[in-house]
Amino acid sequence: MIVVGVDGSVTARAAVEWAVNDALRMKEPLRIVHAVDRSPYQIGKFPSAALPDTLLREGQRILREALALARERQPGVEVTMEDIEGAPAEVLRAQAGDATEIVLGSRGLGGFVGALLGSVSTHVAGRVRCPVVVVRGDHRPVLGEIVVGVDDSPQCEPAMAYAFRQAAVRGSVLRVVHAWQLPVHAFAPEVVYGMDEVRTAQYQVVLDRLETFRKHYPRVSVVEDVQQGLPVDALTDASARADLLVVGSHGHGALGAMLLGSVSRGVLHHVRCPVAIVRQ
């Protein structure tokens, strides 16, 4: 089951299109969810009873429009919809129980995406077991490449698995990006550091991560992209040529250690393609 959160915004519409296309590729049903959050209208001394009813009617309208869009794009996909009361992040976490992935728009007027780079990214992507895909509202041509970021920790393997599967069902090239930096002590004048040895060691990290997945996905064409630099910069540059960027949500290496901090925020702010955040 693929779950997509909608709030009536342009980016939510883009998220529905992405989710229903992925549901077709993955042979999964699609559930469209709208969160009805009454709390902003119940703060005053005399909360209005009419506003929550208006919210319910608006939620039903948003769901009907999203349902019509999904059926128009992919009529063969099984689609259901739900209007659920609660804070958006809490609603999404509850939906994750039987979801293979959750899809959201990156920005919107409220609901799911209003706080995406804050509460939704940290409280959903970091706490649910399924991948969370963030989709922007602009339309891009199909470029035929998936990008996945890897580091030197085993925690990146779920992201690798997701990326390989996406590349396989799309028939896309998979670019595996590993950005590395010299350790601080390498800049000490008394330490002799062999750059060739460092490059070789970093390249071996990528080869080790790829070995198992290549056996399972022999038809996926893989590009090994090992470079010295910051993970955000490397991933942002690679995403310019990609249909999807995949990153892991936890890890102890250069990429994973900061992912729900500077790397995730940097990636979500700067890349133009959809981003899948995959938890270990």
Q: What is the pLDDT of residue 242?
A: 95
Q: Would 109 be classed as within a structural domain?
A: yes
| 126 & 196 share domain | no
**Which CATH number do you get for residue 273?**
3.40.50.620
Among 170, 102, 104, 175, smallest CA distance to 142 is for 170
In this prediction, residue 56 has a pLDDT band, given cuts at 50, 70 and 90, of: confident
Domain boundary among 86, 105, 135: 135
- The domain of 59 spans 2-135
Give me the pLDDT at residue 144, please.
Answer: 96
179 and 63 in a common domain: no
pLDDT at 190: 54
45-49, 223-227, 253-257: the lowest-pLDDT one: 253-257
Same domain, 191 and 237: yes
Residue 263 lies in a domain: yes
Write down the pTM of the prediction: 0.82
Give 274's pLDDT tier (boundaries 50, 70, 90). Answer: very high
Res 162 pLDDT > 70: yes
| Average pLDDT for 60-86 | 95
* Greatest Cα-to-Cα distance within the chain, rounded to the nearest angstrom: 73
Please count the structural domains in the chain: 2
Q: What is the pLDDT of residues 89-131, one digit of tens each?
A: 788 889 888 899 999 887 644 444 444 444 555 566 667 889 9
Q: Does residue 71 carry a pLDDT above 50? A: yes
125 and 26 co-located in one domain: yes
Distance CA 65, CA 85 (A): 19
Among candidate residues 90, 109, 135, the one where a domain is terminated: 135
Pair (186, 111) in one structural domain:
no
The more confident residue out of 93 and 42 is 93
Query: What is the pLDDT, as a whole number, of residue 109?
Result: 41
Which one of 135, 160, 190 terminates a domain?
135
> Strand ranges (DSSP E) for the chain?
2-5, 30-36, 79-85, 101-105, 132-135, 145-149, 173-180, 222-228, 244-248, 275-278
Q: Does residue 36 register a pLDDT over 70?
A: yes
Residue 182 sits in the same domain as residue 256? yes
In the predicted model, what is the mean pLDDT of residues 36-43? 66
> How far apart are the C-alpha atoms of 268 and 40, rounded to whole Å?
27
Query: Do 14 and 71 lie in a common domain?
Result: yes
What pLDDT was estimated at residue 198? 61
Residue 264 forms part of a structural domain? yes
